[in-house]
Structure 1
Amino acid sequence: MTSLTSVELNYLVFRYLQESGFTHSAFAFGYEASINKCTIDGSLVPPGALITCVQKGLQYIEMEANLSNAESDVDEDFSFLQPLDLITKNVSELRRTVKERRKNELKKSKDKELNKEHDGVRGLAKDREKQARKREREKDAEKIEEKSREKEPGKRNDKEADTNHDDQKSIRHEESVVSGVPEPMEISTTPASQISEFLSSDVTILEGHTSEVCNCAWSPSGSLLASGSGDSTARIWRVGEETNQLSTLNGSSNEIVLVHVKSKTNEKSKDVTAIDWNVDGTLLATGAYDGAARIWGIDGELKSTLTKHKGPIFSLKWSKKGDYILTGSCDKSAIVWDVKTEALKQQWDFHSGPTLDVDWRTNVSFATSSTDNMIYVCKIGETSPIKTFSGHQGEVNCVKWDPAGILLASCSDDVSAKIWSMKQDKCVHDLTEHEKEIYTIRWSPTGPGTNNPNLPLILASASFDSTVKLWDAELGRSLFTLNGHSDPVYSVAFSPNGEYLASGSLDKCVHIWSVKEGKIIKRYSGKAGIFEVCWNKEGDKIAACFANNVVCVLDFRR
C-alpha cells in the first residue's frame, strides 16, 4: 500500500481537483476542511466523488512510477494529459490517451513542417525551390543511391495514344497530337572522356547578389538577363556579344538592382520568388515572398506594385499579349491582373492548398496546380473551372501547355508526369518511369504552331532521381533517359531550335544534351547547386543561377 501524508493528500486534491475546475471556499485544503464545501461549476461535489478523485490521484502516482521505470519520458507523456483526464480515467485509459495524443501531435508536427516548406520560395520560392536549398545543405548527408551504381535502362511504355489525330483548326476547339517521332530508345551515362568542358573564356560569372539566386530569364528582345534572389532583389544584367565582357546599362554599370524591400530587418521574408518578361521585353514582372507582384521598366523604374495576395507568390506569368499578369500564391488562389489599370481583374480560389504553378493556354485561359493534387483550367469571366484534371496522388509541382496550347503536361511528387487533353477527363498519357519525385517539365519548341513545325513534339521531365527523360508526346513513351547528373535535377530548358537541352542539378553541373542522340555534348562544373537554366533567344548563350549567389553565362557556339 502507498501511504500518504496529509501534505501529500492536500497536494493531490489541489492539483487534480482545483486545476480541473473545482473550487473551495477556503482555498487551503486539509483533512480538517469540510469536503461538503467542494464545488465544480457552482455545484457541490458529493463526498464519494471526492474520495474517487483521491483514488485517481493514487493511480496517477502508480502510473508515474511505472512510466519512470520505462524508456519513455514522463514529463513528455504527462504533457499530453489534462487534469480532467486524471480524474475521469484509469491508468489503462490514460496510457491509450497518451499514445493517441502523441500520434496526433506527431502528425501535426509533420504537417507543420510541410507547411513551412510550402511557405518557402524558390530557392525559397514555390515550395519547390525551398526544397532545392534544403537538399543543397543536406547533400553531404544524403547522397543519392543511384550515384554509385549503374542506372537500369528505363522500361518502354508501349501504350498507344488514346486520342485520334485531328486537323488543328482552332486552339479553343480542335486538338491534335504530333506524328513522326523516332523509335524509342534508352541510353546510359555518356563516358566522361566524350564530354567537352566549357572553357573559362566561354564563361562569364555575374556577381552582386548576396544570397542564393533562385531564378533567371533572358529578355525576348535583346541581351538583357534578369535574375531573382533570396537577397530581396532582382537584377537586370546586359551581356555583350563577347561572353566574357559585360556592356553598360545607362552608361554606368552592367547591372541594375531592383530593390524589393528597403528594411534590412525584413529581407529574409521578402525573397524574389518568380520573374518573367513581357512579350516584347520592355517590362519585367517579379513575384515576391511578401505576396506582391511588381512591374519594372528595363531602366529599373518600379511601374506598379500589385497587392492582393495574402501569402507568398510561387509563380508568375505574363499573358501572350502582355496585357495581363497571372500569379499563383501560397494563399491557395490565382489572380489575373490588368496591367493597364494596375488592378485585380479576377481571382480564383478553387484549390484547397497552396497554388504551386500557373501557365497560360490562351490570352484568357490558363491552368493552375497545387499541393492538393488537383489541376484546374480557368478562364477570365468564368467563375468555375472550365476543366478539372484529377489523377495525381501527390503535389503537382508544375503544369505546362505545349506550344500550340493543345496538350497540358503536369508533374508531381507521386513520381509521375501526365499529359492531358481538354477533350477528356482522364490523362492521355501517364508517364511513370522515374523513380523519385518529378520537379519540373518542359515542352520542346517544336511541332505545329512553332518555328520548327517539322520536328516532333517532345516533353522533358527532371526528377529527384538525378535523371532527365525525353518523352514521345504522341505515343507517351520514353525516347531517352539522360543519365549524367548525380543529384536531383531542378531545371531543364530546350534551345530555341529544339536541338539541344540544358539541365541544371544540385550536383553543381550544367549539362548540354543532344536531343537527337540523347548524349551530353558539353558540360560546365560550378561551385554550388543550380536552381535554374535558360537559353537566350538566339540559342548561343545559356544562363544558370547558383546557390552560391552567382549567375553564370555560358557561350554556346557550335
Structure 2
Amino acid sequence: MANIQITSDEINRLIYSYFKDSGFEHSAFALAKEAHLERSPCFSKHVPRGELVELLSKSLLYTEVEYHFQGGELAANCKTGFSLLETHVCSTTPPEPQTFIAPLIRPNVPSVILEPTLPVRSNGVPDTNASKRKADVPPTNEPQEKRPRREQEAQGENTSDASSKKARNALPTFRKQGPVDKDTDPSSIQLLTGHKSEVFCCAFNPIKHNLVASGSKDASVKIWNLASTSKDPVTLESFSIAESGDLTSLSWNPTGELLAIASYDSVLRIADTSGKIYFQHSKHQGPIFTTRFSPSGRWLLTASLDGTSCLWDVANKRLHRQYSVHSDCCLDVDWINDTMFASCAADRIVHILSIDQENPIKSFGGHKDEINQIKCNPSGTRLASCSDDTTTRIYDVSNISSQVDGIPGLDGSSSTVVLEGHHHSVSTLGWYRLPGTSKELLATGSFDGVTRLWDCDSGECLHFFVDHTRPVYALSISPNNRWMATGGGDGWLHVYNLKSYQKIWSWYAGDDKPGVFEIDWQSHDKLERIAVALECKSVGIIDVSMIPVITNST
C-alpha cells in the first residue's frame, strides 16, 4: 500500500490558495502569518486554481463509492446527496429543499480592554501574549454594576428577577460605535457611506482640502467633497473585473490635480478630481501595491507583486523605466528626492535606485524576513524599513550619489541602526520631530498590538503603547508632530500626545467588521481632520478641531 502522508502545511497551503482565489486577501495574509507558511517548502509550490474544491469533490466521490459499493436496490435508487458536513443515509425519497436562516444571535466579539495592564518581562518589555489571552476571554471579575447594560435594561426591564439577571450576565456585551468619552460633540465625527465593501485606503487632497478619496474592496474609488451639501461623491468604476479590483493605494500629486490608483487588477490608473481617467496602463503583470508621486509631481512610482517597480512620466503619459531588481514581489517604494528612490520586497532587500539607472545605486541587507514598508524622513537623509522579522532598520542615505556602486553587494555596515523590541511583524511606521527640537524620532506599529517610539540614533525604545488588542494596521503622525493616531484590527482609533506619552482620545468603529485599515491626517489653516478607512464599508471623518481634549493637549 502506498505511503499516504498529509501535513498541516499542505492543508494550510490549500486553504491559503482557496482564500486567494476567492478574493479573501486579508484572510489569506492572516493565515500565512499565523501558520508561518512563508517558512514552509509548501509555500513555494504551485497550486492550481480551485485545487481545494477539486480535492474535496474527489473526496465526495470516494464517499459515494464507500457507501454504494455493495450495490443493492437502495443504493442503485438513492436520491440523497453527499455533503462534507453530514453523514450520508441512503433514501429513495428526494430531500426537501432547505433555506438557510441566519441566527439572530450576534457573533461573540472579544472584549476590548481600554486600559490593559500587562505583565512586564524581566527586560522591561510587556508580555503581549498575555494581552492576547485577555482579549480572548471577556473579563468576569469586575463588579456587575460596571458592565455595560443592555438596551432592554435601559428601557426599564425588570432587573430584580434573579434568573433574568443571570441570563443577561451570561450574554456577551457589545460596545456601540463612537468615542470612549461622553464629552465629544457627536457632530465632530461623520461617516461617509456608499461603498459596498471594506474600505482599504483613504487620502486627503493636499491642495483642495475639502476633497478626500477612498478606495474599497468593491472595486470603486470615490472622491468626496466635504464642503458640498450633496453627499454624493464622484465615483470611479472603470475596473474590468470587480473580483480583482480591490484598491490598495491612493496617492495625490503635489498640486492636487491627479490621483494615482493602485489595484489588484494590475492596471495603473491616474484620474483627475472629476473622476475622468487621465492615464492608465497595464504594464504590470500582478497586483499593484503602492503608488507614489515624486516631490515635484513629474514622476510616479508603482510597486507590484510581479517583482518590479515602474517609473512613469506623468506629463508625457508613458512608462519611463521598469526596474526588475528584486527576486520576489515588490511591496513598497518611497522617494528620497526627485531623482532617487528606494524599493523593498519579500526578498528582504532594500534597493536605492536612480531615475537614470537600471541597476541599484546601493543595496541594503540584514532583514531576515520580508519587508512590509519603507519610509524616508522629510529631509531625505535617512530611510526606515520594517519587516516580518519583528525589527525595523534605519539606513543613512545622505551621501548616496546617483552613480552605481563600483563593487556590487549588500551593505550591512555598522552604521545601520536596528530597532528591536516588537514580538510580531512590524507593519507600519512614521517619522516625526517634536516641536522645538531637532532630533528625529520614529514610531512603529506591529501585529503584536504594540506601538513603539524610538530614538533613531541609539536605537533605544523611548516608550510603548499597549492599547490595541489586535494587530496595528495604521499609524499617522499629525503634520504639527504633536499627535499620533493608530488604528487596528480591534476596531479602535487611538490618539496620543507624542511629548507626554499619553493616550488622549479614543474612538471605536463598532462590533460589526471593526477593522481600521488606514489613517490620513490633514492640517491646514484652521482645518485639523483625520480620515479613516474602515472595514465597516465607511470612511470616517473626524474634525479634530472640535475635540478639545486633543487640541488642548500640548
For residues 537 and 332 of structure 2, the distance between their equivalents in structure 1, rounded to whole angstroms, comes to 24
Look up the SS of the partner of 2:206 in the other structure. Answer: coil
Matching residue within 280, 291, 305 for 2:280 = 305
Task: Label 1:116 to 1:308 Cα distance change in 2 as closer, same or farther (>3 A).
Answer: farther
Q: Residue 146 of structure 1: CA displacement?
A: 12
Look up the SS of the partner of 1:268 in the other structure. Answer: helix
Which residue in the other structure is 1:489 paired with?
Answer: 472
For residues 131 and 553 of structure 1, the distance between their equivalents in structure 2, rounded to whole angstroms, comes to 33
Q: Which has the larger radius of gyration?
A: 1
Q: Deviations over 1:398-424 (max 9, x none)?
A: 000111111110111111111112366
Residue type of the partner of 2:430?
Answer: R
Residue type of the partner of 1:390?
Answer: G
Q: Deviations over 1:212-270 (max 9, x none)?
A: 00011111111211111001111111223xxxxxx15xxx6541111132x5xx31211
For residues 130 and 228 of structure 1, the distance between their equivalents in structure 2, rounded to whole angstroms, comes to 24
For residues 110 and 436 of structure 1, the distance between their equivalents in structure 2, rounded to whole angstroms, comes to 20
For residues 225 and 465 of structure 2, the distance between their equivalents in structure 1, rounded to whole angstroms, comes to 32
Report if the CA contact (8 A) 1:118-1:354 is conserved.
Answer: no
Corresponding position: 1:434 with 2:409: no
Give the 5 Å matches for 1:62-81: 64=1, 78=2
Residue type of the partner of 2:457?
Answer: E
Task: Label 1:513 to 1:375 Cα distance change in 2 as closer, same or farther (>3 A).
Answer: same
Look up the SS of the partner of 2:302 in the other structure. Answer: strand
For residues 140 and 405 of structure 1, the distance between their equivalents in structure 2, rounded to whole angstroms, comes to 47
For residues 516 and 404 of structure 1, the distance between their equivalents in structure 2, rounded to whole angstroms, comes to 21
Report if the CA contact (8 A) 2:326-2:345 is conserved.
Answer: yes
Q: Residue 428 of structure 1: CA displacement?
A: 2.1
Residue type of the partner of 1:284?
Answer: L
Report if the CA contact (8 A) 1:206-1:550 is conserved.
Answer: yes
Q: Deviations over 1:484-514 (max 9, x none)?
A: 1111110010001000000011111111100
Could you list the runs of 5+ residues in structure 2 that have no partner in the other structure? 36-106, 126-145, 147-178, 400-410, 546-550
Corresponding position: 1:258 with 2:258: no
Matching residue within 530, 535, 539 for 1:551 = 539
Q: Give the superposed CA RMSD.
A: 3.4
Which residue in the other structure is 1:208 paired with?
Answer: 194
Task: Label 1:131 to 1:405 Cα distance change in 2 as closer, same or farther (>3 A).
Answer: farther
Which residue in the other structure is 2:505 paired with?
Answer: 522
What TM-score do the two structures reach when normalised by structure 1?
0.66
Matching residue within 473, 486, 498 for 1:503 = 486
Question: Bigger shift: 480-489 or 421-430?
Answer: 421-430
Report if the CA contact (8 A) 2:214-2:250 is conserved.
Answer: yes
Matching residue within 252, 267, 288 for 1:277 = 252
Which residue in the other structure is 1:231 paired with?
Answer: 218
Q: Residue 283 of structure 1: CA displacement?
A: 1.0
Q: Deviations over 1:137-192 (max 9, x none)?
A: xx9799999997615279579xxxxxxxxxxxxxxxxxxxxxxxxxxxxxxxxxx9
Task: Label 1:428 to 1:154 Cα distance change in 2 as closer, same or farther (>3 A).
Answer: farther
Corresponding position: 1:333 with 2:308: yes
Look up the SS of the partner of 2:202 in the other structure. Answer: strand
Residue type of the partner of 1:511?
Answer: H
For residues 231 and 30 of structure 2, the distance between their equivalents in structure 1, rounded to whole angstroms, comes to 30
Give the 5 Å matches for 1:73-472: 78=2, 95=3, 124=25, 150-152=118-120, 155=123, 196=181, 198-221=184-207, 222-240=209-227, 247-248=228-229, 253-261=231-239, 266-422=241-397, 425-426=412-413, 428-444=416-432, 446=433, 454-472=437-455
Q: Deviations over 1:311-350 (max 9, x none)?
A: 0001110111101110000000000011112111001111
Higher relative contact order (CA 8 A, sep 6+): 1
For residues 116 and 390 of structure 1, the distance between their equivalents in structure 2, rounded to whole angstroms, comes to 33
Which residue in the other structure is 2:131 paired with?
Answer: none
Task: Label 1:113 to 1:512 Cα distance change in 2 as closer, same or farther (>3 A).
Answer: same
Task: Label 1:226 to 1:130 Cα distance change in 2 as closer, same or farther (>3 A).
Answer: farther
Look up the SS of the partner of 1:308 in the other structure. Answer: coil
Could you list the runs of 5+ residues in structure 1 that have no partner in the other structure? 1-63, 65-77, 79-94, 158-191, 241-246
Q: Deviations over 1:375-414 (max 9, x none)?
A: 1111112121111111111110000011111111011111
Q: Residue 475 of structure 1: CA displacement?
A: 2.0
Q: Residue 454 of structure 1: CA displacement?
A: 3.4
For residues 499 and 180 of structure 2, the distance between their equivalents in structure 1, rounded to whole angstroms, comes to 16
Report if the CA contact (8 A) 1:155-1:433 is conserved.
Answer: no
Q: Residue 474 of structure 1: CA displacement?
A: 2.3
Matched length: 403
Task: Label 1:435 to 1:120 Cα distance change in 2 as closer, same or farther (>3 A).
Answer: farther
Task: Label 1:356 to 1:154 Cα distance change in 2 as closer, same or farther (>3 A).
Answer: farther
Task: Label 1:381 to 1:457 Cα distance change in 2 as closer, same or farther (>3 A).
Answer: same
Residue type of the partner of 1:353?
Answer: D
What TM-score do the two structures reach when normalised by structure 2?
0.66
Look up the SS of the partner of 1:311 in the other structure. Answer: coil
